Amino acid sequence: MRHPITAQQVNELAAQLDASTRLLTAADGDYYEKLISRWADNAVKRAGAVAVPVSYDEVSKLVKFASANKLELAVRGGGHSTGGTSSTEGGLTIDLSRMRAVKVDKDTKLIVAQGGALWEDVDNAAIEKGLATVGGTVNHTGIGGLTLGGGMGWLTGLYGTVVDNLVEAKIVVADGRILSVSENENADLFWAIRGAGHNFGVAVEFTFRGYDQTNEIYAGGLVFTPDKLTSLVEGFNTRMKTSEPQAAGMLLFAKPPGMPVAVVVVNVFYNGDEAAAKEYFKFLFDLQPVAITAKMMPYNHLNALLNPLATHGRRKALKAVTVTNHIDVAFVQELYNDYSQQLEKNPDMSASFLGIEIHDVSKIQSVPLESMAFANRGPYRPGIVGLEWTDPKMDEENRAWGRMIQAKCRQAIIASKEFSGDTKTSLEYANYVEPGDLITDRPFGGNQQRLAILKQKYDPDVLFYKTNPITPLRTEAN
C-alpha cells in the first residue's frame, strides 16, 4: 500500500535535495497550482508535494525516497493523461518540466531528448539539422508518456512506431539506480520499456533515430458533409490496397462551432510535393470537400495541426478503439450516427471527436511482436474517441458512453474475418487506456507474462503502477 507524504517527510526530503531542485506544497500558492494543473481538468489532483528537478541524480534521490517511505508517486512529463495517472492525491509528484533539453547529431542522425521534453521541442530541434523522427500528432504532448507506451505518428508508415526508433534510454528504476538501457546494455529492461515503460521507472532521457527530412510536406484538413462518408470510406479502402508508406490520413467526426451537424474531416499527410499528394489523394478531392486547409509546410509545423482539437482545459477522456483493416462502411456509418446522436443529446460534449487513423501498416507488422513489449501490431486500424465536456456531474456517464463505443468496436473486430482467436496482439492501443477501462484485460498481449517477470526483477514493491499496471510474477530464478 502506498501512502501520502507527511509534512515531516517533506522536510526530510527537502534536506536531502540539491538547491537546484524545487520542492513545493500547497502553501506555495500560485506556483504549486500551476504545477498540479493538467491538460484535462478532471486529471488534476492535489499532490502533497511537487518536486521539480533539473538533474538525473536528483530524480534518483526522489525515487529512492518515495520507495523507502512507500509513498504514492506520480511522474509528470507533458501532463496529458486524462485518467490522472500523472497526478497524485496527497503523494509526491516528480515534475520533469525543467528537463526539456534536446541535442541532435546530424552525422549519426541521433536525437537525444530529456524526459520532460515535448514533441515540439524534438520536432524543432531535429528539423534544424534536416532531420525528423516519429512523434506525437499533438506537439504539446510530452515525449515520455507517448514513447513509453509505444507511440504512433504521421511518419509511422515509413518508420514504424516511436519505440521502433528508440535506440537508448536512461531509466531511474525503483531502487534509485540510473540505468542506461539499449540492445547492448540492460537489454531486458530496454525490451520492457518499449511499450510498458510506465511500469518500470522514470525515463529521464531518450535517444531516437532520426531520418533525413529536408523537403517540405503536404498536410492539412479536408472537410466533408456527412453524406460523403460512405464514399470516403470506400475510397480509402481502395486507396490502401496500393498504399504508399509516405502517405497517411485520419478520418475524424467533429462538430466545429456554428455547424448545425457533425461533419467529416479528413486530415491528410504526404511526405512529398503537392502534385504527388493531390494525385495520391485524388479520390478525396473528387468528392468536393466544402473546405480545404491542406497545404505545403515545413515538417515541424505538421504536429501542430491537430492542436485545436486538443486545447488545454475542460474535462476530457481518451478511449482507444480499433476497426478492421478493410474498413466496414456500414459500421463506420453506425459510429457516425452514435456520435452525432450523442452530441445532440448532450451538447456539452460538442467539442468531442472520433477518429480513425489510416496509414500503411506493413512497417509496424514487419517487427516481430516478441521483439519488445509493445503489442499493437495486428492488421487493424487504430482509432480514438476524444471526449470533452464541462459538467463534473457527467464524468461517469460520458466515460460510459466512450466505453460503449470502445466495446462496440472490439466486438466488431472479433466478429470479423480478420480476427484470429489465438492472436497475441492487443486490440486497443495501450497508451489511451485509462484506469477503470475494462476492455483491455491484457494490454500487452502475448508479452504480458514476460513483463510480469521483469516487474518482479525491477519493481517488486510496485512503486510504478498507474498506467496499465503489471503484477509482479515471481519465478524460481527470482
Q: What is the mean pLDDT of residues 380-385?
A: 95
| Confidence (pLDDT) at 449 | 95
In the listed set 152, 178, 212, which residue is the last one of a domain according to the structure? 212
All three cell numbers of 426, joined, read 492487443
- CATH code for the domain of 347: 3.40.462.20
Answer yes or no: is 151 within a domain: yes
Cα-based distances in Å from 222 to 267, 285, 292, 352:
6, 8, 5, 18
Does residue 58 sit in the same domain as residue 116?
Answer: no
Asked whether the predicted pLDDT for residue 440 surpasses 70, the reply is no
Strand partners, 249: 268, 358
| Confidence (pLDDT) at 410 | 93
- pLDDT above 70 as % of the chain: 99
SS3 of 412-431: HHHCCCCCCCCCCCCCCCHH
Number of independent structural domains in the chain: 3
Does residue 255 sit in the same domain as residue 342?
Answer: yes
Does residue 54 sit in the same domain as residue 160?
Answer: no
All three cell numbers of 115, joined, read 524526459
> How far is 376 from 364, CA to CA, in rounded Å?
9
| Confidence (pLDDT) at 478 | 59
In the listed set 166, 190, 212, which residue is the last one of a domain according to the structure? 212
Answer yes or no: is 460 within a domain: no
Is the alpha carbon torsion for 217, 220, 226, 228 positive or negative? negative
Does residue 392 sit in the same domain as residue 307?
Answer: yes
**Could you tell me the maximum CA-CA distance found in the chain, to the nearest angstrom?**
68
Does residue 67 sit in the same domain as residue 34?
Answer: yes
Residue 1 or residue 358, greater confidence: 358
Residue 17 neighbours by CB under 8 Å, 6+ apart? 23, 51, 53, 58, 61, 62
Sheet-wide strand order for 110-114: 102-105, 110-114, 202-209, 166-172, 178-181
Does residue 180 sit in the same domain as residue 292?
Answer: no
- pLDDT above 90 as % of the chain: 92
Average pLDDT taken over every residue of the chain:
96
Does residue 273 sit in the same domain as residue 416?
Answer: yes
Please compute, for residue 329, the number of CA atoms within 13 A of its CA located in the half-sphere on the CB side.
13
Does residue 108 sit in the same domain as residue 184?
Answer: yes
| Confidence (pLDDT) at 1 | 87
Answer yes or no: is 452 within a domain: no
Does residue 148 sit in the same domain as residue 248?
Answer: no
- Structural contact between residues 318 and 386, judged by C-beta atoms closer than 8 angstroms: yes
Closest among 85, 92, 88 to 45, alpha carbons compared: 88
Residue 182 neighbours by CB under 8 Å, 6+ apart? 167, 168, 169, 190
Over the stretch 278-313, which tens digit does the pLDDT of each residue have?
A: 999 999 999 999 999 999 999 999 999 999 999 999
Over the stretch 193-215, which tens digit does the pLDDT of each residue have?
A: 999 999 999 999 999 999 999 99
| Confidence (pLDDT) at 7 | 98
| Confidence (pLDDT) at 433 | 83
437-446: Cβ within 8 A, 24+ apart: 437/319, 437/403, 437/406, 438/403, 439/403, 439/406, 439/407, 439/410, 440/320, 440/468, 443/375, 443/468, 444/195, 444/196, 444/373, 444/374, 444/375, 444/468, 444/470, 445/369, 445/375, 446/369, 446/370, 446/375
Does residue 128 sit in the same domain as residue 64?
Answer: no
Over the stretch 343-366, which tens digit does the pLDDT of each residue have?
A: 999 999 999 999 999 999 999 999
Answer yes or no: is 55 within a domain: yes
Answer yes or no: is 311 within a domain: yes
CA 427 to chain centre: 16
Location of C-alpha cell 526539456: 100
Does residue 144 sit in the same domain as residue 70?
Answer: no
| Confidence (pLDDT) at 477 | 59
Phi, psi (deg, nearest 5) at residue 147: -65, -45
- CATH code for the domain of 141: 3.30.465.10
Strand partners, 435: none
> How far is 138 from 157, CA to CA, in rounded Å?
17
Over the stretch 47-58, which tens digit does the pLDDT of each residue have?
A: 999 999 999 999
Answer yes or no: is 453 within a domain: no
Over the stretch 39-88, which tens digit does the pLDDT of each residue have?
A: 999 999 999 999 999 999 999 999 999 999 999 999 999 999 999 999 99
- Structural contact between residues 254 and 309, judged by C-beta atoms closer than 8 angstroms: yes
Over the stretch 98-136, which tens digit does the pLDDT of each residue have?
A: 999 999 999 999 999 999 999 999 999 999 999 999 999
Confidence of residue 472 (pLDDT cuts 50, 70, 90): very high
Query: H or E stretch including 403?
Result: helix 395-414
Over the stretch 144-181, which tens digit does the pLDDT of each residue have?
A: 999 999 999 999 999 999 999 999 999 999 999 999 99
Does residue 358 sit in the same domain as residue 345?
Answer: yes
Backbone φ/ψ region at 259: left (φ over 0), alpha (ψ -120 to 50), beta: beta
Look up the domain containing 273 and give its range. Answer: 217-432
In the listed set 30, 64, 95, which residue is the last one of a domain according to the structure? 95
Confidence of residue 437 (pLDDT cuts 50, 70, 90): confident
Q: What is the mean pLDDT of residues 426-452?
A: 85
Of 29-38, 105-114, 424-433, the least confident: 424-433
- CATH code for the domain of 82: 3.30.43.10
Q: What is the mean pLDDT of residues 435-450?
A: 83
> How far is 17 from 269, CA to CA, in rounded Å?
46
